[in-house]
Amino acid sequence: MSKELNIEWAIERLKEANYKYTDKREALVRYFVDKDRYLSAKDVQEYMSEQFPSLSFDTIYRNLYLFTELGVLESTELNGEKYFHFACRLSGHHHHHFICKNCGKIKALDVCPMSIMGEQLEGYNVETHRFEVYGLCPDCKK
């Protein structure tokens, strides 16, 4: 899916949930789509303060959680801090991630461990799952 379609999808999710569209919210979504990696709230604040100097850290944090609640962003924890990434559901195929603990880059993993877990969960109703592998990407490993 193209970057513009991802941004349009995110804005539509916002409007469908009866939240107001703002240029700040669009800039936040655009930043995640452009970066395509996990970002901290501090990363977002540094970027957003260039365009919107009066934007508070609390407002950024509230919007990160709002977009996560709406399924636009996904979150994970790295080194005791929350990081956010644009949702991959739009890619059209089921996958998991390798996440670099240093720079937040991601690599899609097409292997799903649920295929081998099914035997151990017989009789259970699995509604959703998530599998993440953490380490260092080739650039950070150098």
| Domain positions in the chain | 3-89, 93-141
Alpha helices in 17-133 (DSSP H): 23-35, 41-51, 57-69, 114-117
Query: Would the CA dihedral through 63, 3, 96, 15 be positive or negative?
Result: positive
Amino acid at 47: Y
Residue 5 has pLDDT above 90, yes or no: no
Common-topology check for domains 3-89 and 93-141? no
Would you state the pLDDT for residue 67? 96
**Per-residue exposure over 99-113, b if at least 16 CB sit within 10 Å of its own CB, e if not:** bbeeebbbeeeeeee
How much is the pTM? 0.79
In angstroms, the CA 4 to CA 15 distance is 17
In CATH terms, the fold of domain 3-89 is Arc Repressor Mutant, subunit A (1.10.10)
Residue 90 has pLDDT above 60, yes or no: no
Residue 131 has pLDDT above 60, yes or no: yes
Residue 136 has pLDDT above 90, yes or no: yes
134: nearest Cα among 86, 87, 101, 103: 101
For residue 70, the SS3 value is coil
**CATH superfamily, with its number, for domain 93-141:** Ferric-uptake regulator, C-terminal dimerisarion domain (3.30.1490.190)
For residue 133, the SS3 value is strand
Q: Return the bridge partners of 99, or none.
A: 106, 134
Would you state the pLDDT for residue 93? 62
